[in-house]
Amino acid sequence: MPGPRSTRVAFLGPRGTYAEEALRALAPRVTEAVAYPTVYDTVMAVQTRAVERAVVPIENSLEGSVTATLDTLAVDARNVRLVAELELPIRHGLIARRRIEPAEVERVISHPQALAQCARYLRRALPRAELASAASTADGVRQVGESEAPWAALGSPLAAEAYGCKVLAEGVEDDRDNVTRFVLLARSGEAGAEERSGALKTSIVFSGFNDISPGALVAVLGELSSRGINLTKIESRPRRLGLGHYMFFADLEGGERSSPVAEALEALRARVETLHVLGSYPSSPSTPAG
């Protein structure tokens, strides 16, 4: 997949996160990767032109959608578009500052989701280790790398490399189907070659129809099904207007300029108050597990 023409690409930091790993695949030609502390800050860096591109997680196969990404794109970053995607298998390793036996580990530090995703392994291999939360898997590896104590973290080989640590065991996750979908973001009108090739997918968000009326959503989505457009994902998020009022995020097969999709979007606009196209971009196969 061709990388962006720009040189500054933001990612959800710190160094060594899976987002940085996704960045290396989505933007291989980048010369400056800039870590941001939150999803919101990462997306808004594109909105404010602090960077030209950004990579953030948008969906996980076990935990569902990354709501911070969806909400920021829908509400605060209306000039930002999705231009590419990557499905990245998440493979956790047990990481320590130096090579020690897993039985010697007194504490395991990681993001709560990673701890949960490796729960069976931790109970079996490190039954007496204390579990401690970190802001991210990479932050857990950083803490382990800075401590002389016999601690370990859960994270990627990239994080181990970034913080001078050793991988004690690979593939310690309980479920091998743990996949995170990452997206590459750009300003509207500034997307490059990554937007122009391959089978396309279109992401939209819409709201403001009579969504408390029976069958209202079915009628809206009928504009897609009646034109033979496959809906690959749909979910709702609160509009913060009171209970029962939602905005709906949907992924469609096809590009926004193709005849059936363009007609369907025009028909949707006539039925809802707001319809925002988040982007049309190549539908990407998953990256092989390392």
Residues with catalytic annotation? 180, 182
Q: What is the DSSP annotation of 164-214?
A: T-EEEES---S-TT-EEEEEEEEETT---GGGSSSSEEEEEEEE-S-TTST
Strands ordered across the beta sheet of 274-282: 231-238, 246-253, 200-207, 274-282
Neighbours of 208 (CB within 10 A): 14
Burial class (CB in 10 A: 0-12, 13-18, 19+), 72: buried
Q: Please tell me the distance from the alpha carbon of residue 80 to that of residue 203, in angstroms, as a whole number.
A: 12
Cα–Cα nearest to 70, from 60, 55, 57: 57
Distance of alpha carbon 166 from alpha carbon 150, whole angstroms: 12
